[in-house]
Amino acid sequence: MKAITYSDYGPPDVLHVEEVPAPEPGDDEVLIRVRAAEATKSDTEMRSFRFAVNWFWLPLRLAIGVRKPRQRILGGYFAGEVVALGNDVTRLAVGNEVYGTAGIRFGAYGEYVSLPASYTIVPKPTNMSFAEAAAVPLGALNALHFLRLANIQKGEKVLINGAGGSIGAYGVQIAKSMGAEVTAVDKSIKEDFIRRMGADHFIDYTKEDFAAAGETYDVIFDMVPGSDYGACVRLLNPNGRYLTGNPTFSFMLRSVFTTWFSDKTVLFRFARESKEELLALKTMIEAGEIGSIVEKVYPMEGAAEAHRRVETEERLGALVIAIGG
C-alpha cells in the first residue's frame, strides 16, 4: 500500500510517500481503507517533536522513539471504509463507512490501517464526505468534551480563545447549539471564517487584549498555550468556569486552589474521545447543528505542504489529506 512516512524527526520535508506492507487485522481488530485523514497540529508536533506544552517531553520521547520514530506513519483522525474484520469483531461490518481516531497507534496516513475494534470508530455522518468527516474527530471531540464539562446554560456568555483552530471552530458551533452567546478571539484574517461558524462577537488579539475589554463571561474555553491565568480567572462571572486544552504544570497547580477557594471552577481534564461522544456529534451533524470546517484537501504527495500550512497558524479551517486514489 501507499503511505506517507517519516524516518527522522524534523521539518515537513521529512515526509515522503512510499510503498509499505499493508497491515493485517488481528482477532480483535478492524481493517479500514482510509479515504481521508486530517493533518493536525499533533501530527506536526510528533513529526518535529516540538510541543507547545513540554512537561511530558521525556516520557513521550521514550514511548515513541528516542532517536527515530518507531511508528513511521502518522495520522490519528480519519474517515474510510471497513474492508475486513478480525475473528472476534462483531460491532462493525465490512462495507461500513466510518470515521474515528487511531489513538496512539496512528497509521491513518496509509491506505489501510488496522485498529482494535474497541477504539473510537463509528459510522460517519451521512451528509458529509470522507474529507469533511475526517476533520471532525479531533476538533469536535475535544470541543464537545470541554463544553459539556462547562455545563453551558442557554443565554450564558462564552469566550473562546483560539477560535480559529480545529477545536475552537467546532467549539463555536457547539456552544451556539447549546444556546450560548459566543465571543471568539483570534487573528483578523480568521474573522470571516469564525463568524461563519456562528460567533456573535469577534476580538482580534493583535489589536485588542480581550482581558482589558471590560467584558466578563460565564465560561472561558482557552486553546492558547501560555494565556494569562490570573487575567482569565478575573474575567469570570460568579460561578464561572475556565477550561483549557493546553495546561502547563503551573496551570494545573493553580487550578486546584482556584476551584477550592473561590466561586470559580478551573478545569483541564483531557478528552476521552469516546464512541458515545462521536455518535453524539454524528447526530448533531446530521441535524445541521455542526457543519464542515475544511479549508483544503491535499493529495498524499502534498502532505509536507499541508504540514507547513498547519504550522503557519493561519489556516482557515481544517486541512485534510486524501489518502489513495
Model confidence at 53, pLDDT cuts 50, 70, 90, reads low
| 250 alpha-carbon distance from chain centroid | 23
Spell 101-128 as b/e; 16+ CB within 10 A means b. bbeebbbbbbbbbbbbbebbbbbbbeeb
CATH class of 2-135+292-322: alpha beta
Mean pLDDT of the chain: 92
The pLDDT tens digits for 189-241 are 999 999 999 999 999 999 999 988 889 999 999 998 888 889 999 999 999 99
What pLDDT is attached to residue 104? 83
Strongest mean pLDDT among 116-120, 250-254, 272-276: 116-120
Residue 252 binned pLDDT confidence (cut-offs 50, 70, 90) = confident
Q: Which three cell numbers stand for residue 97?
A: 463507512
The SS3 assignment for 154 reads coil
- Min mean pLDDT across 55-59, 152-156, 158-162, 264-268 is at 55-59
- Number of C-beta neighbours around residue 18 at 10 A: 11
Q: Is 59 left (phi over 0), alpha (psi -120 to 50) or beta?
A: alpha
Which is more confident, 56 or 22? 22
For range 172-181, the mean pLDDT: 98
Residue 296 has pLDDT above 60, yes or no: yes
The domains spanning 2-135+292-322 and 138-267 adopt the same CATH topology: no
Q: How far is CA 143 from CA 33, 205, 221, 271, in A?
A: 27, 21, 9, 9
pTM: 0.91
Asked whether the predicted pLDDT for residue 62 surpasses 60, the reply is no
Residue 166 vs residues 78, 95, 295: alpha-carbon distances, Å: 14, 29, 11
Cell output for 313: 497558524
Domain ranges, ordered by start, for the chain: 2-135+292-322, 138-267
Helices then strands, counting H and E runs in the chain, come out as: 10, 15
Model pLDDT, residue 40: 95
State residue 270's pLDDT score. 76
- Going by their DSSP bridges, the two strands 121-123 and 97-101 should be labelled as antiparallel
**pLDDT, position 66:** 62
CA dist 133 to 77, 114, 230, 316, Å?
9, 19, 37, 17
Cα dihedral 259→263→268→274 (10° resolution): 120
The mean per-residue pLDDT over the stretch 6-35 comes to: 96
Contact 300, 17 (CB under 8 A): yes
Per-residue pLDDT tens for 99-133? Answer: 999 988 899 999 999 999 999 999 999 999 999 99
Q: What is the CATH number of domain 138-267?
A: 3.40.50.720
What own/partner pairs with CB < 8 Å and gap ≥ 24 does 66-69 have?
68/7, 68/8, 68/9, 69/6, 69/7, 69/8, 69/9
* Residue 255, strand partner residues: none
Nearest to 226 by CA among 41, 51, 46, 48: 51
